[in-house]
Chain A
Amino acid sequence: MSSVPLLPQVDVTALYSDHHGWLQGWLRRKMGNAVDAADLAHDTFLRVLARRDTPRLLAPRAYLGAIARGLVADFFRHKDIERAYLDALAALPETHAPSLEARAIVLEALVAIDTMLDGLKPAVRQAFLLSQLDGLTYEQIAQQLGVTKRTVSNYMCTAIGHCVEHCDPLAP
């Protein structure tokens, strides 16, 4: 974090000493365990430090809570995808088992895609994945989802528009 320009030290220090205990307790209730709660509380303050434009805080707990909520959502997304990924790997022949490093890379990529798709209706998401990852035609997707080709086309337009807004334009 050395390259991050720090806010006036006193702000964060005060924020930390006044609210860290509260935040960690709040997170412990959300997460159900102290270890994850401590990690996420730590990450929350890292985010605060990394933000150059932290507003003058009138409601510091609401501010910390909003950041923490985002981190909790990411945490569960990550866990959830990891579980689905491991389930999928378990279903494959063992000779194909990827290395731990390869797994970590794939997991990051899966999380990035899932984040990009966040907020799409299930059917729209399904159509998009079948098209972009499985290479199905709209005809085939229409059959699989039991809708018309025109509906698939509308789904795709919605999904692509959404992803274009939500993808990281700096992705490789």
Chain B
Amino acid sequence: MTAPPRDEAAVRKEAVAWYTRLCSGSAGDAERQAWLRWHAAHPDHQRAWQRIEAMRATLQQAPAGIASPVLRARLASGGQARRQVLRSVLLLAGSGSLGYLSWQTAQQHGLVRPLLVDYSTAIGRQKRVALPDGSLLTLNTGSAVDVRFDAQTRRVRLLGGEILVETARHRQGSAAPADPRPFIIETRHGAARALGTRFTVRQFDAHTQVAVLDDAVELRAAQAPAKAVIVRAGQQARLTASAIEAPQQADESAGLWHTGNLLVNDRSLGEVVAELARYRRGRLACDAAVAQLRISGVFPLADTDRALLLLVQSFPLRLRSLTRYWVTLEAA
């Protein structure tokens, strides 16, 4: 995966421009998706974005409720002028939430600042993220989430790609004190509320797929929130913005991607190639003549070159590549 390096100053400028746009308050899902594509497009983009994240980390060390008035009051010269500024900003902020905000940091509360994508992965990468309540998210290739925890709910917004969710309750067992706040994964198409549990959520363009590995999950479509459908362990269901399909038996390989391998048991080459393509930059396809070939095997997701090699070694196939980014499998 070696893309030619990009000019550092130019990339940094792009990162700054993206962050500026995303913070405006008028950036929608389309803009976030566009950012996600930019972020995934080049390793230099990810390196530049780390600087943005370092900046955010510096900001998040201090409690927002007190940091803003104090740092703004710094501009006022003279004690009295400063106290006046402070008084007005503190009044504006209202005293309700200010108490704990005066010393606990946003991170401790899981109150990550508005906007933006909190966690993301590049193409071909996976990442594990521990949430403030003890739950664990695993992001699959090319994925992004926002995390919003507040006093009422624990909310994770899946902006694109796929995640595996293991709630604190599931990880620690019922002996651990239960967090009364519901745990909800949101996508463009609706919401999945954890009842337990361990499950995966993958967002496609027109639908979201939820596969439940343990316990159960309650689904609600975005445009029909009154109707809830329960999906139980071993089941999966598709959800569009307006409807939820009846749960079916889950694929036996559901959720296995987090082990770093693609487990294939008698599936068509076309399906396998489509799956591997998610973990690889550029175009990966197979010739129509071999698309129906039945495949079984275990393929490493972190190294798709090796996965392709395994395919051509085990099946009557060969690789035709114009460049590293344009690869086709065809009959040997």
Contacts and interface: CB of A to CB of B under 8 A. Distances in A.
Given A91-B87, A129-B68, A132-B23, A164 B15 contact: yes
A140 B23 CA distance: 12
Interface in B56-83: 56-59, 61-64, 66-75, 79, 82-83
A80 B24 CA distance: 31
Contacts of B62: 106, 109-110, 112-113
A171 interface: yes
Contacts of A153: 20, 24
B86 A87 contact: yes
Interface stretch (B93-101, B126-134, B159-167, B267-275): B93-101
Given A87-B83, A135-B114, A164-B15, A92 B95 contact: yes
Chain A interface helix/strand/loop/mixed: helix
Nearest to B12: A164
Contacts, number: 159
B52 interface: yes
B23 A113 contact: no
Query: Which one of A87, A133, A134, A164 has the highest number of Cβ atoms from chain B below 10 Å of its Cβ?
Result: A133
Contact of A126 (B20, B72, B103): B72
Interface string B1-37: 0000000000011011101100111100000000000
A160 interface: yes
Contact of B82 (A84, A89, A110): A84
Contacts of A102: 103-104
A85 B63 CA distance: 12
B12 A87 contact: no
B283 interface: no
B193 to A, nearest CB: 26
Nearest to A77: B74
B203 interface: no
Interface stretch (A20-28, A56-64, A114-122): A114-122
Given A113-B71, A116-B58, A164-B52, A92 B25 contact: no
A138 B25 CA distance: 7
A122 B75 contact: yes
Q: Which of B13, B17, B61 neighbours the largest number of chain A CB atoms within 10 Å of its CB?
A: B61
A171 B54 contact: yes
Interface string A144-172: 00000000010011001101100111111
Nearest to A125: B75
Interface stretch (A8-16, A37-45, A93-101): A93-101
B105 interface: yes
A74 interface: no
Interface string A41-70: 000000000000000000000000000000
A7 interface: no
A137 interface: yes
Given A88-B90, A110-B70, A135-B114, A171 B57 contact: yes
Nearest to B70: A84
Contacts of A92: 90, 95, 98-99, 102
Contacts of B227: none
B51 interface: yes
A114 B15 CA distance: 22
A98 to B, nearest CB: 3
A132 B113 contact: yes
Contacts of B178: none
Nearest to B87: A91
A66 B277 CA distance: 57
A81 B56 CA distance: 20
A168 B63 CA distance: 19
15 contacts: A85-B66, A98-B102, A106-B66, A110-B71, A112-B58, A112-B61, A132-B23, A133-B67, A134-B93, A153-B20, A156-B24, A157-B16, A161-B12, A164-B51, A172-B61
Interface of B: 12-13, 15-17, 19-20, 23-26, 50-52, 54-59, 61-64, 66-75, 79, 82-83, 86-87, 90, 93, 95, 98-100, 102-105, 113-115
Interface of A: 80-81, 83-85, 87-89, 91-93, 95-96, 98-99, 102-103, 106, 108-110, 112-114, 116-117, 122, 125-126, 129-140, 153, 156-157, 160-161, 163-164, 167-172
Given A81-B74, A126-B72, A135-B115, 11 more contacts: A83-B82, A85-B70, A88-B86, A93-B95, A95-B99, A110-B70, A129-B68, A132-B56, A160-B16, A163-B55, A167-B54
